[in-house]
Structure 1
């Protein structure tokens, strides 16, 4: 297959001299060469055509057998050498030591239209970093990763992309909820695409081992190719590099908060140095607005990675990255300044983001009270976050009679238990809308402009867990139409698209406690 291969990472940085695919600790190297496992009967289920074009693939190439063979791991492209990366990380707040790509294999890098892309298979077999795992993935988790990667991109949230989803023709043993009920599931592979898959954990592992020369090589490589502006001037570039990563990470997590996305497993090894969302495992979107919700069963007790704690966790992870980079500078000031800037910028930008969701384009510090009261009131009775904010755009002070019994009619569909909208709960909603209308009347923004602005930041369609589960169930039965339809819906999440109105709905009751629709595990 003709692509413009440009394997900078493996050519410019040191490789593991041991080329055996055996589980081991790898030191003095940033990656290990490994050959993907050959699948029995690979089949392409879905291709994101925009991503194919992004990396330089034509429609004819996508339709070819060589595409299927290359992106299932069946064949290795001539002139390339697949590899798995070494990194460590803090998992659920504790240092885990060496982790690495246990089920991810970087196929190659390509250059197209002056952009660099790394193409990586997830689920293509074991690597030296697989520990006790088999390096494989199942259709269930692969459908979720493929759809969500593209959904996040079209929502405007920084993310890795997904080129394609394939089944392997092999069965894989998995215990979905880690409760002793293991079963065979269809195996699958996803091809992920990003500028690189360098993580916070790559730097952490080297620093923890005192491999400072190698740490410097990795930092210099990353700055040279992805943060060249940090090399301007005579001062050291590492503090400026860290500052840039802080700012990118801030934009990423603000995007998560805006659309109600919960990552579920924000370990430092799942944090991209590019400030992009990576590693879609037990993620989810808020159904009922609940800042304490996390989709990850492993995090059920601690709720470390809950929706309302994501910004604090990004900040915590950045501190760990700062600690890893410190030996290159041996001065705390640049890192402390960047972290303080992160906190200050978050306060300003978070207020602006939350206010814009209400159509307030000229936020003031006093608006914090309005926003806080709303976020409390949303929890008085189970209220769908996506539906509420989208429907709120249709509310107008001139058309909504707050003294009427049915004043909540414009947002009524957002409530899961509308019979609870009585008494004090109803009064608190009336009080909030009075505050909201008073604030809108202080603004020069017209109703039409407010609606337009709100509909640009409040999506109509998101990848709810039950939607992903319907796609999985259908695909396991051989029906790919649901994947196709949901992928198309999520390409235009801010558009009305009335033909897809059935997806603009609350989570159905059957999905409230169904495995895969409420909480999920890291099982993949």
Structure 2
């Protein structure tokens, strides 16, 4: 990596932990602690993204080098760098958790390339002062899911961290995958993640909770200087603009989640990025059947706080916690409250427009709200695959009958024999309204279909697909990891060679571990 341009702004300008021992502890008056990764015994590269490598200034040839293997497995430290773990706090499942920090993530360095800045981070690289009772390691299963999903989200057009590489550590890691008292050893792995930064809402919460207001002011101004340099004006006005920017990009991110049917599963404030990018891929999932109450997280199965339909409100709740953290700098509640109150109003307007685009309705009428609400209700009458329904909807022509339209989308039904009686009547009524509305659109069927297919993906990383790749990788076969990576680079294209992945979740995957709900265990 001879061409990497090191520029460690975070560690150069912000307060460091003065204790450099790698012991679990409360870290005060600091935003990070220096710590080296745990050296893996026998690292092995499974997969790397050439695109992400180029993004940060690494050549394609260097990916296969020993230096790449050693640096991005944590075996060697890049010259001129000092790895570190960040200190932050957060609310977890709505409850204040106090200090959290990078418990299994270690930032290697910041780099500059083509006038952009990136932080390179290893996930699963070993213990840090923030690991609490854990070992700071990660297993192959969760690492495959993170590597594939981060890149899948990018190609879907969803703001996200990126994944540079996926490696085996050569070590065994003890995990209790179901949290049922039956731990077992699994293959250890490391993912190299890339983002503008890994700064979270919880970073600000920590400083305010500890009354470290001098550090809070310095940290907010650091973020404005380097990540929101377009912000100008008096300090108080800058802080409000900063909060507005974070609220806006967060809203845009959640809108994309709802568009593609993605459920994060762990929307704690320490998992929310100031950049409005998806961060920390744990027990995530895509909706199979359209169910606003579905959560992929077993830990959340009772209260379903982080269910699909609740993600916009949780984003607003998390922003409320960020507003509380920024309040000591603003000393006025009203302007912060105004931004918070406008969040859902703006989201609802954006959501309506997004749904109309998914439906192929590109001009607005008074009846559109009822068409969207009617569809959202009817999709829940019988299990209906969200991805397949919206993708096949683009095949409908204005001249089609209601019966023909129903035939075109029938593959989305998990239990076709249920589409009778009142359920069939409800679908028939909705399609009658939709088909009449479709006729008011000026676009040709072909042009409308093309536009719809730009927002309705054909392929998403369903949990059962990831699990198939995991099962094969456990046996040393990485062909499915490679195949899914290729597939997910073009999620909106037809890709006939991969048509088998345009399918409903198989029955065997309905309750299989890893194919529906997952734990946070990684």
What is the TM-score when the length of structure 1 is the normalising length? 0.98
For residue 25 of structure 1, give the secondary structure of its aligned residue in structure 2.
coil
* Equivalent residue for 1:437, pick from 435, 438, 460: 435
CA distance in 1, matches of 2:111, 2:356: 41
Instruction: Name the counterpart of 2:268.
Output: 267
User: 1:241-320, aligned counterparts within 5 Å?
Assistant: 241-320=242-321
Cα distance 1:22–1:234, how it changes in 2: closer, same or farther (>3 A)? closer
Task: Indicate the SS of the match to 2:230.
Answer: helix
* Cα shift at 1:339: 1.6
Q: Compute the RMSD of aligned alpha carbons.
A: 1.0
Cα contact 2:87–2:99 (8 A) shared by 1: yes
Instruction: Please name the residue that 1:459 is paired with.
Output: 457
3-state SS of the aligned residue for 1:120? strand
Does 1:448 find its partner at 2:449? no
Partner of 1:472: 470
What residue number does 1:75 align with? 76
Greater shift after overlay, 443-452 or 419-428?
443-452
Corresponding residue for residue 102 of structure 1: 103
Structure 1: gaps (5+ residues): none
Cα separation, 1, equivalents of 2:126 and 2:464: 29
* 1:84 maps onto 2:85 in alignment: yes
1:421 is matched with 419
8 Å CA contact retained: 2:236, 2:330: no
Cα offset for 1:334? 2.2
User: Of the candidates 505, 508, 514, which is equivalent to residue 516 of structure 1?
Assistant: 514
| Structure 1 position 442, deviation (Å) | 2.1
Query: For the residues of structure 1 that align with 2:297 and 2:498, how far apart are their CA atoms?
Result: 29
Q: CA deviation at 1:181?
A: 1.3
Residue number in structure 2 paired with 1:230 = 231
Deviation at 1:396, TM superposition (A): 1.7
- SS in structure 2 of the partner of residue 363 of structure 1: coil
8 Å CA contact 1:89, 1:267 repeated in 2:
yes
Q: Give me the whole-angstrom Cα distance separating, in 1, the residues matched to 2:236 and 2:201.
A: 23
1:369-408 alignment runs, 5 A limit? 369-399=370-400, 401-402=401-402, 404=403, 408=406
Find the aligned partners of 2:61 and 2:159 in 1 and give their Cα distance. 29
Counterpart among 410, 419, 425 of residue 412 in structure 1: 410
Q: Measure the CA separation in 2 of the matches of 1:365 and 1:253.
A: 25
* Aligned-pair CA distance for 1:235: 5.7
Q: Which residue of 2 aligns with 1:44?
A: 45
Does the CA-based 8 Å contact 1:249-1:314 persist in structure 2?
Answer: yes
Name the SS for the 1:51 alignment partner. Answer: helix
CA offsets 1:106-145 (integer angstroms, 9 cap, x no match): 0000000000000000000000000000000000000000
1:361 aligned to 2:362? Answer: yes
Q: More displaced, 447-456 or 234-243? A: 234-243
> What does the per-residue CA deviation read over 1:157-214, in whole Å, with 9 as the maximum and x for residues that have no partner?
0000000000000000000010111100000000010000000000000000110000
Partner of 1:172: 173
Note the C-alpha offset of 1:343.
2.3
Alignment of 1:141-220 (within 5 A): 141-220=142-221
Q: Distance in 2 between matches of 1:90 and 1:452?
A: 42
Which residue matches 2:496? 498
Alpha-carbon offset, residue 443 of structure 1: 2.2
Give 3-state SS (helix, strand or coil) of 1:408's partner.
Answer: helix
Q: d(CA) in 2 for partners of 1:115 and 1:44? A: 26
Task: Assess if the C-alpha contact under 8 Å between 1:31 and 1:84 holds in 2.
Answer: yes
Equivalent pair of 2:253/2:276 in contact (CA under 8 Å): yes
d(CA) in 2 for partners of 1:511, 1:10: 45
Q: How far apart in 2 are the matches of 1:485 and 1:112?
A: 29
Contact 1:351 1:363 in 2 (8 A): no
1:422-446 per-residue CA deviation (whole Å, 9 max, x = no partner) reads 1111111110000101111222222
Q: Residues 355 and 361 of structure 1 are in contact (CA less than 8 Å); yes or no, is this contact kept in structure 2?
A: yes
SS in 2 for 1:90: strand
Unpaired stretches in structure 2, ≥5 consecutive residues: none
Shift of 1:228: 1.0
| Equivalent residues, number | 521
Name the SS for the 1:457 alignment partner. coil
Report the secondary structure of 1:171's partner residue.
strand
TM-score (norm 2): 0.98
